[in-house]
Structure 1
Amino acid sequence: MSRFDITRTNIAVERLIETTQDPRHLYLLHAYNRHRYLEMAGRYEEIFAPDMTVAHPVYHFNMLGETLTLEGAEAVKGVYAEWTASHQCIFYVESEKLAVSDDMIVSTSIMLQQTPGNVLAASGVDVDPEATYLVKSAEHMIWPYENGLLVGEDVWEYDATQRDVIALDPSEVLTAEQSGRLLAPLIKPLPAVNPFTSS
């Protein structure tokens, strides 16, 4: 049995949804929850629906000693497509704390991303290129929103001392297809009414 359960990756989000009363904050939390599940399920194209994401999102990453800016939907889709094909769309969290306002969601967590050994080896990490690993990092994220639509993501590793590479037993490795089946019951539509645009 695996040590990791992808159906619990968003548990902190779902708990906050249960206790949030403000309709705008609740809407953003549902959008955040849906986005993350779609990403982990390999259904990234759905993230770019006009009721979820602006036409020209901008993502900033400062992770694992590298910085990257992605401008525009096609650039972001390219990364999501690569992650899905290599099964790097699989994420787990050890803990997550969240804050939400009308304009953004802020998250801090210990995140673990499934990563093939050949990807790590190509970046200079001493691992078995035939194995699969979890890359553990301490992350802050800011997701800005405008009228309930995601504007982008700002993601950075705030404490490199937390970084670790954890070998997975082959029985613990998930494919994007397996993840998609596990997460399908948890992927909910957005609320019918967007409180940012409804009168």
Structure 2
Amino acid sequence: MSRFDITQTNRAVERLIETTDNKRHLYLLHAYNRHRYLEMAGRFEEIFAPDMTVANPVYHFNLLGTTTTLEGADAVKEVYREWTGTAQCVFYVDDEKLAVSDHMIVSTSTMYQQTPGSVLAAGGAPVDPDATYLMKSAEHMIWPYDNQGRLIGEDVWEYDESVREIIALDPSEVLTVEQSAALLAPLIKPLPALNPFTA
């Protein structure tokens, strides 16, 4: 049985929610928590609700030696759509550390993204294209929020290439999007009814 449990991916977020009193900080942590669960469940369209994300988010990625900027909801949705279609929306996190302010969440963690061998092989990795792997990386993330508590975008970068590793998964360890969605459904909560940014 795999040591990875998708229901535990947000455990650092949920621990911080339990100990946070500042209403704005707490609201952003709930939004972050909801966003990540929706992403991992393949329910990415819900992330773009007008109370969660600005109309034109901008994402910056610097991962695996590639720098990418996604501008606008359509461009970001296309990446989420691809990840959902290939089950790359399934990911796990180890040792996440979080900081929150009135308009930003910062995270550092070791990330494990489920990735088809065909995707890795297309990028030149010496893997079985018919197998599934976890792509391990050390990542920093900055998520800025606007004056209504809506996500403006994401800045994600791999800060230590020496941590990078491709881990083969046994077929029994591979999680489908449908399985992920079923496991996460009880954990996906609505945003708090009272938004302290607009109240």
Same fold (TM over 0.5): yes
- Do residues 113 (structure 1) and 113 (structure 2) align? yes
TM-score, length basis structure 1: 0.99
Pairing of 1:1-199 with structure 2 (within 5 A): 1-146=1-146, 147-198=148-199
Number of residues paired by the alignment?
198
For 1:166, give the aligned amino acid: I
For 2:186, give the aligned amino acid: P
RMSD: 0.4
Contact residue 3 and residue 172 of structure 1 kept, 8 A: no
Q: Distance in 2 between matches of 1:98 and 1:112?
A: 17
Q: Distance in 2 between matches of 1:85 and 1:181?
A: 16
Q: Distance in 1 between matches of 2:109 and 2:75?
A: 25
Q: Deviation of residue 94 (structure 1)?
A: 1.4
Q: Distance in 2 between matches of 1:81 and 1:157?
A: 22
Contact residue 54 and residue 150 of structure 1 kept, 8 A: yes
Unpaired segments of 5 or more residues in structure 1? none
Q: Deviation of residue 135 (structure 1)?
A: 0.2
TM-score, length basis structure 2: 0.99
Q: Distance in 1 between matches of 2:60 and 2:2?
A: 32
For 2:68, give the aligned amino acid: L
Q: State the Cα deviation string for residues 97-122 of structure 1 (Å, max 9, x = none).
A: 00000010000000000000000000
Q: Deviation of residue 95 (structure 1)?
A: 1.1
Unpaired segments of 5 or more residues in structure 2? none
Contact residue 60 and residue 68 of structure 1 kept, 8 A: yes
| Secondary structure, aligned partner of 2:24 | helix
| Secondary structure, aligned partner of 1:124 | coil
| Secondary structure, aligned partner of 1:14 | helix
Q: Distance in 2 between matches of 1:98 and 1:155?
A: 14
Q: Deviation of residue 68 (structure 1)?
A: 0.4
| Secondary structure, aligned partner of 1:18 | helix
Structure 1 stretches of at least 4 aligned residues deviating more than 3 Å after TM superposition? none
For 1:129, give the aligned amino acid: P
